[in-house]
Chains A and B, each alone.
Chain A
Amino acid sequence: MKINDALKIGGRTFASRLMVGSGKYPSNEVMKNALEESGAEVVTVAVRRVDLKNPSDSFLGHIDLSRYTILPNTAACYTAEDAIRTARLAREALSTDLVKLEVIGDEKTLFPDNEELLKAAKVLVKEGFIVLPYVSDDPIMAKKLEDIGCAAVMPLAAPIGSGLGIRNPYNIRIILETVKIPVIVDAGVGTASDAAIAMELGCDGVLMNTAIAGAKDPVKMARAMRLAVEAGRLAFLSGRIPKKLYATASSPIEGMIE
């Protein structure tokens, strides 16, 4: 079935609503196959020092750059200053204006520091970046990020890598009602149903890394996530039936044998 239902972010159009990370795979070969099976078009990467002992090793050499849009992140930055610096380095290295903006507030939860995040987002938007901020599932923050010109908001479902799924679907719903920019659930997805729930709520996409890379079979899980995101999206577009406490017969009452 073909549906004309593309995701548009910052002037770019994507057929897939699943975005995937490139960290923590058991091998580059498994990652390559998982990316392929996921159907994702956007792949996140981190900015790190070149290993001077292994200077010719290029991680991006394992990713087909003609197929995937690379979305650099500012993971492990704890201040606006560090995140801005990292985003600028990524732009220089990749010649891209895209950035998945993360400013972490706490090592144990990896929850965002929303105050620093907003500060960094303001600067980067002014510098022409297409900013996709990783944010708490907070509708007020989401609105502020939209108002200053972010291209999307990426509220967490649960702590990064926790696999706890959507802890607060009601907040995600309120965020969806509050902002007009795309809402991408980022972090906390554990299995396919979590991704489907995000999409059934009406989210524009889901970004995940550990749920695929950390699965026993990442390639199979990548396919599961692809199907879940597609299924959830279709269910959302189809308009589900209302929930009722009592039964409604599916078979006609008329014409019963006597």
Chain B
Amino acid sequence: MKVSINGKKTDIENGATIEKLLVSLGIRPEGIAVEINKEIVPRAGHGRTIIKENDSIEIIRMAGGG
């Protein structure tokens, strides 16, 4: 199914959880935050939150800044 990850249209496995998506993208869950359709999904919910078609997903972490 098609979703948007960090602004990029991507095909992912149907019924994937956030946890599975992070593993498939090679992103460790420490120090990151995930939003689906502008709502934060707390870390504790990554394993049970199922991504739906056309979801807009943002995955952020810290970068250098002032």
Contacts and interface: CB of A to CB of B under 8 A. Distances in A.
Interface stretch (A50-58, A224-232, A239-247): A50-58
Contacts of B6: 49-50, 52
Interface in A32-76: 44-50, 52, 55-56, 58-60, 70, 72-73, 75
A52 B22 CA distance: 10
A172 interface: no
Contacts of A150: none
Interface stretch (B12-20, B36-44, B48-56): B36-44
Report, as a range, how many residues of chain B touch the other chain.
20 to 34
Contacts of A208: 66
Given A58-B31, A89-B33, A48 B60 contact: yes
Interface in B1-43: 5-8, 25-28, 30-35, 38, 40, 42-43
Contacts of A47: 60-63
A51 to B, nearest CB: 9
Given A21-B65, A89-B40, A55 B33 contact: no
Contacts of A23: 63-66
Contacts of A180: none
A31 B7 CA distance: 30
B31 to A, nearest CB: 5
A161 B66 CA distance: 10
Nearest to A19: B66
A221 to B, nearest CB: 14
A148 interface: no
Nearest to A85: B38
A55 B64 contact: no
A181 interface: no
Contacts of B35: 85, 89
Contacts of A31: 64
Contacts of B26: 55-56
Given A50-B6, A90-B33, A92-B42, A210 B66 contact: yes
Interface of B: 5-8, 25-28, 30-35, 38, 40, 42-43, 58-66
11 contacts: A21-B66, A25-B64, A45-B62, A46-B65, A46-B66, A50-B59, A89-B35, A89-B40, A92-B33, A94-B31, A94-B62
Given A25-B64, A89-B33, A93-B33, 17 more contacts: A21-B66, A22-B66, A23-B64, A23-B66, A24-B64, A46-B64, A46-B65, A47-B62, A48-B62, A50-B60, A55-B27, A56-B26, A59-B64, A89-B58, A90-B62, A209-B66, A210-B66
